[in-house]
Structure 1
Amino acid sequence: MPRPTTSTKQRIQDVARDLFAQRGVQRTSMQEIADQLGITKPALYYHYASREELVRSIVQPTLDEEEAFLASQEALAEVDPRALLEAYFDFHYRHRAEFMLMLSELTTFAHLGLIDRVLEWRQRLGKLLHGPDPTLDQAARAVIAFGGIQDCTVQFPDVPEAELRAAAVAGACAALGIQP
């Protein structure tokens, strides 16, 4: 008998992601997720002990990938600002659904400690561009540049990727005062 192509945990995450996007995390019950899957609530709890654990399981791979991205940039002998901005756009474009979920549920994600992590990443990105002690002006420009890129990936869902990438990176370069 052929094995199913998708694991039960992955199916749960897929259904939960869709329901969270439609209704919000706090307005989606574990019972609704179980009903959508055609399983019992205890079966759902067998895989995920709580809604918070389920939410974290959906976003954790993206968070781990962003941490790895930052660590790889920090390991470089020299950072090319434009290449960093382009790679940052590419990462966030690939994961825009997860970031939309996080943006729509900021309270939930703050409770899980994820907002602090994102803010810490923004600091690290600024240091990649401006060294260990950026001025307030440099730090503010970096926040605008990286935050703007991240926002563009979710703000303009109907713009072709290449066109959006060019515009977002050019805008970030302008914010940082570097040639696009």
Structure 2
Amino acid sequence: MPRQRTGDTRARIQQAALELFAVQGMQQTSLQDIADRLGVTKPALYYHFASREDLLNSLVEPMIADFEAYAEGLRVAAPVSPRELLGSYFDLAYRHRAMIQLAIRDLSVLHELKLADRFIEWRGTLAELLIGPSPSLRDVVRCMVALGGLSDCAVMIEHTPVAELREAAVDAAYDSLGR
């Protein structure tokens, strides 16, 4: 029987952790729980991750890097049409929906990784690109409804074909902007 590659084992550990974190919460999930789920020893997990926090960081880092690159890419490409920005934001949120769901369901994840501040900063970048640097209160509210509603649709609505969901969510977000 061929030996499993380290990257495969690491990915299996991450997937099991994500599933358990989503069901039990991050604080309530131990490395032993993850080892038991995989049928491996706890020291085998330590070979790949020094701690539960290290494991959580490995799950979150790709999302953070993706959001950072996305926000910077939009700044460089500005101006971007509102519909194009909303569509690409939907795609980004949808791609990271499992991690975002975990952060929503277990607020300790947001706190521990200081994700709330990052999400606020990313949203601020998007808002400025959509409504400019000195918007009216009405524009700020419309923008928050558009971005919040769009990301909620991408993350929370299940059992709907993604293309259909994307079209409906982007249309609704665009309409919320009052354009």
Measured against aligned partners, the alpha-carbon deviations of 1:101-146 in whole angstroms (never above 9, x if no partner) come to 1111122222220111001111111111122233333222222111
1:21 is aligned to 22
1:85 is aligned to 86
The 5-angstrom pairing of residues 58-97 of structure 1 reads 58-97=59-98
In structure 2, distance between residues paired with 1:126 and 1:51: 34
SS in structure 1 of the partner of residue 54 of structure 2 = helix
Shift of 1:2: 4.9
1:57 is aligned to 58
TM-score (norm 1): 0.90
2:147 counterpart letter in structure 1: F
2:114 is aligned to 113
Bigger RCO (CA 8 Å, 6+ sep): 2
SS in structure 2 of the partner of residue 75 of structure 1 = helix
Pairing 1:4–2:8 present: no
In structure 1, distance between residues paired with 2:26 and 2:176: 34
Shift of 1:60: 1.3
1:74 counterpart letter in structure 2: R
1:41 is aligned to 42
TM-score (norm 2): 0.90
The answer on whether the counterparts of 2:101 and 2:156 sit within 8 Å (CA) in structure 1 is no
The answer on whether the counterparts of 2:103 and 2:110 sit within 8 Å (CA) in structure 1 is yes
1:20 counterpart letter in structure 2: F
SS in structure 2 of the partner of residue 7 of structure 1 = helix
2:155 is aligned to 154
5+ long unaligned stretches in structure 2: none
Number of equivalent positions: 178
The answer on whether the counterparts of 1:126 and 1:134 sit within 8 Å (CA) in structure 2 is no
In structure 2, distance between residues paired with 1:23 and 1:150: 24
In structure 2, distance between residues paired with 1:77 and 1:27: 43
Superposed CA RMSD in Å reads 1.8
Measured against aligned partners, the alpha-carbon deviations of 1:20-49 in whole angstroms (never above 9, x if no partner) come to 122221221111111222332233233222
1:7 counterpart letter in structure 2: D
The 5-angstrom pairing of residues 94-173 of structure 1 reads 94-173=95-174
